Amino acid sequence: MTTKPEVTGFFEPRSWSIQYVVADPETRRCAIVDPVLDYDEKSGATGTDEADKILGFIRDKGYEVEWILDTHPHADHFSAAQYLKEQTGAATAIGEKVTAVQKLWKGIYNWPELREDGSQWDKLFADGETFMVGNIPARVMFSPGHTLASITYVIGDAAFVHDTLFMPDSGTARADFPGGNARTLWNSIQAILALPDETRIFTGHDYQPGGREPMWESTVAEQKTSNIHMARCKSIEEFVAVREARDKTLPMPKLILHALQINTNAGRLPAPESNGRRYLKIPLDALEGAAW
């Protein structure tokens, strides 16, 4: 039995996101992590090009999809989880604390119809819960701080950390979204860095500092020695000061108010109205104090 999955990343340049196919080479079974549904906020157009690339890759490799995994409800892109479920029949999953995010955004959107029990996904993972990708053992680590619901998937020797750690030259994720907390983020990162040094770390975004090519794989050892925040900050107090000062300068992601009403509903687009069109609802002045 192997504990080293084949990991293939798909970089999505509109939101600097990395989507993953994580496969057991022996059984050819796989999981899809954090897939992107195309959305152009200028025209309101949606599409499935990114998700279809993943499906084409899976067909070419002869993989069978077992899981469609979200690490958290994303603020910068729409999730393609529902579309991929329709195409593959695979189970969708997220961490059980998504219910806290649903409750929070249900209020922001004044959306009484939103179910806040997480039932939009097939599986809600608890902290420490285990599952399998083919014959490769996997487990869930609760990793809040960036959001209330963020989790890390540890699949064999690979950890999918999304918005906790970036590549070492980019540091760590912001913690100023509704429900975010820099002190909590520090503790989550410490748990990730307590994994074996050789653990492969796969991040969910890469903003290409200095114009370099996109990168998304490092190791725990590299993060501990080279991450511009974690190698510099030797205490939680120092980290919180650095993180909060940085966050005060950051505008909100341009799609946060668009995306959360899709992603708190497991990637489902709004139901068509009487004219056959779908509509997003954008609350005004809901994120007070955010940098412009």
Please report the domains of the chain, with CATH numbers, ordered by start residue: 6-263 (3.60.15.10)
In 3D space, the residue among 253, 280, 222 whose CA is nearest the CA of residue 73 turns out to be 253
256-263 and 98-109 helices, crossing angle to 10°: 120
Per-residue pLDDT band at 216 (split at 50, 70, 90)? very high
Which pLDDT score, from 0 to 100, does residue 288 have? 86
Which pLDDT score, from 0 to 100, does residue 149 have? 95
Beta strands in the chain (DSSP E): 6-12, 17-23, 29-33, 36-40, 45-47, 64-69, 78-79, 91-95, 123-125, 130-133, 136-142, 151-155, 158-162, 200-203, 217-219
For residues 101 and 148, is the Cβ–Cβ distance under 8 A?
A: yes
Give me the helices (H) in 77-219, please: 81-88, 98-109, 182-193
Which pLDDT score, from 0 to 100, does residue 290 have? 84
pLDDT above 70: residue 265: yes
Per-residue pLDDT band at 276 (split at 50, 70, 90)? very high
Which pLDDT score, from 0 to 100, does residue 189 have? 98
Residues ≥6 apart with Cβ < 8 Å to 98: 72, 73, 118, 121, 124, 149, 264
Q: What is the pLDDT of residues 99-131, one digit of tens each?
A: 999 999 999 999 999 999 999 999 999 999 999
Residues ≥6 apart with Cβ < 8 Å to 287: 178, 252, 256, 257
Q: What is the pLDDT of residues 18-46, one digit of tens each?
A: 999 999 999 999 999 999 999 999 999 99
Which pLDDT score, from 0 to 100, does residue 289 have? 84
The percent of residues in the chain predicted with pLDDT above 70, rounded, is 99
Per-residue pLDDT band at 1 (split at 50, 70, 90)? low
Per-residue pLDDT band at 85 (split at 50, 70, 90)? very high
Cα dihedral 173, 83, 104, 119 sign: negative
For residues 236 and 186, is the Cβ–Cβ distance under 8 A?
A: yes
For residues 38 and 252, is the Cβ–Cβ distance under 8 A?
A: no
Instruction: Give the Cα separation of 138 and 130 in Å (integer).
Output: 6
For the sheet with 217-219, list strands across it.
130-133, 136-142, 151-155, 158-162, 200-203, 217-219
Helix (H) / strand (E) containing 262: helix 256-263
pLDDT above 90: residue 87: yes
Burial class (CB in 10 A: 0-12, 13-18, 19+), 213: exposed
Average pLDDT, the chain: 96
Long-range contacts of 279-282, Cβ-Cβ distance < 8 Å, separation of 24 or more: 280/44, 281/109, 281/111, 282/257, 282/258
Helix (H) / strand (E) containing 225: helix 220-226
Instruction: Give the Cα separation of 274 and 253 in Å (integer).
Output: 31
What is the arithmetic mean of pLDDT over 4-10?
A: 98
Burial class (CB in 10 A: 0-12, 13-18, 19+), 122: middle
182-193 and 236-247 helices, crossing angle to 10°: 120
What is the arithmetic mean of pLDDT over 238-245?
A: 96
For residues 34 and 71, is the Cβ–Cβ distance under 8 A?
A: yes
For residues 271 and 278, is the Cβ–Cβ distance under 8 A?
A: yes
